[in-house]
Structure 1
Amino acid sequence: MDRVIHPIEQESYRRLRARLDTSHLPPLTRAVVERVVHSSADLAYADDLVMDEDDLVAAHAALHAGAPVVVDVEMVAAGITRRETVCRLKDARSRPGLTRSAHAVRLAHEQVGPGALWVIGCAPTALEELLTLDASPALVIGLPVGFVGAAESKAALRASGLPAVSNVSEKGGSAVAAAALNALLYHPVPADTSEETL
């Protein structure tokens, strides 16, 4: 079923595009940049986000083929309204050398295995833990926020070579992480496939 776009959202995008030229960006990169900017009202994300269009194309196909979506916190899950997500934070426990968020990532990895899309918008330690696992992700949306470890964990994600959406600065958060995933969910599936848009 096609998503019905509210007039307020249409007007918001019109104003966004009047202030920020995204027309030079490839389609999925443009979709992610615009939705993150739209969710945050922060035009600076256009220069802060880092992603590769080929990675997004592959992730978009995996997402629409039913790949699992794993989130680090329920706030990210709440922002992804058109897809079931996996969040194991309620089952996780902190222990020496392992935060609760990192343990939740381990539990989720045991549950979903390889090929998932991971959406991390809160805890840098969740992203750090993911990078230690053999997760073979379809995509890692790594946009944790904070003054301790956030920028460093995102730099480590970029250095890992995994397919990713990240940003360079300390900012981020659940809303922008969910927005990046939603951009891929809302973007139409190419007409030459038999998949349906979610």
Structure 2
Amino acid sequence: MSRVVHPIEQESFRRLRARLDTSHFPPLTRAVVERVIHSAADLEYASDLVMDEGELVKAHAALHAGAPVAVDVEMVAAGITRRRTVCRLKDAVAGPGLTRSAHAMRLAYEQVGPGALWVIGCAPTALEELLTLDASPALVVGLPVGFVGAAESKAALRESGLPAVSNVSEKGGSAVAAAALNALLYHPTPYADPYADSHSEEKS
């Protein structure tokens, strides 16, 4: 069943597109860019985000085929709709040279195995740890936030060659990471545009 869009959301995206031309982005890239911007009311993400359309197409297929989704913190999990996620932070413990967030990545990988989608919006150390695992991810949404390690961990993600959504700057966070994953969840096909029809109706 296709997702029905609330009129407030429809109007929000109309205003976003009135202020920023996103028509040059390929379909799934556009979906991710717009939903991240919508979640943060920050137009700068249009030039800050880094992703590849071909990788998004494959990740979209894996996601809709039922690939598991693992997240670094419960705030990311809370923001992801229409899909259960795996978050092992409550079970994790810090150790010598290992943060709780990093340990949570190890525990999550033991649970989901290879081929999952990973969504990291809080801890740079979680992203750093994920890069040490043989996770063979369908996609890594790596958008941790902070002045210490965030930009560096995202640069390492891009250098790893893994399929990814990242951004260049230090900004990010749970809401924008969840939004990036939701952009893929909300598209039953890569080319659907839920905001194209200004007369769409919806229930709350």
TM-score by length of 1: 0.95
- Once residues 122 and 190 of structure 1 are traced to their aligned partners in structure 2, the CA distance between those partners, rounded to angstroms, is 27
Deviation at 1:190, TM superposition (A): 6.0
Deviation at 1:188, TM superposition (A): 2.1
Amino acid of the structure 2 residue aligned with 1:92: A
- Once residues 158 and 66 of structure 1 are traced to their aligned partners in structure 2, the CA distance between those partners, rounded to angstroms, is 25
Match of 1:98 in 2: 98
Match of 2:66 in 1: 66
Contact 2:121 2:173 in 1 (8 A): yes
- Once residues 161 and 42 of structure 2 are traced to their aligned partners in structure 1, the CA distance between those partners, rounded to angstroms, is 27
Contact 2:27 2:190 in 1 (8 A): no
1:6-25 matched pairs, under 5 angstroms: 6-25=6-25
Amino acid of the structure 1 residue aligned with 2:35: R
Amino acid of the structure 2 residue aligned with 1:129: E
Deviation at 1:7, TM superposition (A): 0.4
Contact 1:121 1:142 in 2 (8 A): yes
Match of 1:117 in 2: 117
Amino acid of the structure 1 residue aligned with 2:41: A
- Once residues 147 and 190 of structure 1 are traced to their aligned partners in structure 2, the CA distance between those partners, rounded to angstroms, is 34
Deviation at 1:43, TM superposition (A): 0.1
1:1-198 matched pairs, under 5 angstroms: 1-189=1-189
Q: Secondary structure at 1:70's aligned position in 2?
A: strand
Contact 2:154 2:166 in 1 (8 A): yes
- Once residues 39 and 3 of structure 1 are traced to their aligned partners in structure 2, the CA distance between those partners, rounded to angstroms, is 18
Contact 2:142 2:166 in 1 (8 A): yes
Match of 1:195 in 2: none
Deviation at 1:81, TM superposition (A): 1.6
Match of 2:194 in 1: none
Deviation at 1:121, TM superposition (A): 0.1
Contact 1:142 1:177 in 2 (8 A): yes
- Once residues 128 and 102 of structure 1 are traced to their aligned partners in structure 2, the CA distance between those partners, rounded to angstroms, is 8
Root-mean-square deviation (Å) = 0.9
Q: Secondary structure at 1:170's aligned position in 2?
A: coil
- Once residues 114 and 188 of structure 2 are traced to their aligned partners in structure 1, the CA distance between those partners, rounded to angstroms, is 25
Contact 1:33 1:45 in 2 (8 A): yes
- Once residues 101 and 149 of structure 2 are traced to their aligned partners in structure 1, the CA distance between those partners, rounded to angstroms, is 13
Count of residues in Structure 1 that have an aligned counterpart in Structure 2? 191
- Once residues 44 and 168 of structure 1 are traced to their aligned partners in structure 2, the CA distance between those partners, rounded to angstroms, is 11
TM-score by length of 2: 0.92
Contact 1:64 1:189 in 2 (8 A): no
Between the aligned residues of both structures, percent identity stands at: 88
